[in-house]
Amino acid sequence: MKIRRSLKALKDRPGSAVVRRHGKVLVINKQNPRWKARQA
């Protein structure tokens, strides 16, 4: 699956991680939860 540019931009924020759950690609960030994103 291709990763969207918007998710790649969020991946570079401090404290964020790219995770695959249930076939979806998520960007989670524990330091700043405002930077969450999902690609279905």
| In the chain, domain spans | 5-39
- Segment 1-40, tens digit of pLDDT: 788 999 999 999 999 999 999 999 999 999 999 999 999 8
Per the CB < 8 A criterion, the answer to whether 13 and 35 are in contact is yes
Write down the pTM of the prediction.
Answer: 0.78
SS3 content of the chain, % helix, strand, coil (to 5): 20, 40, 45
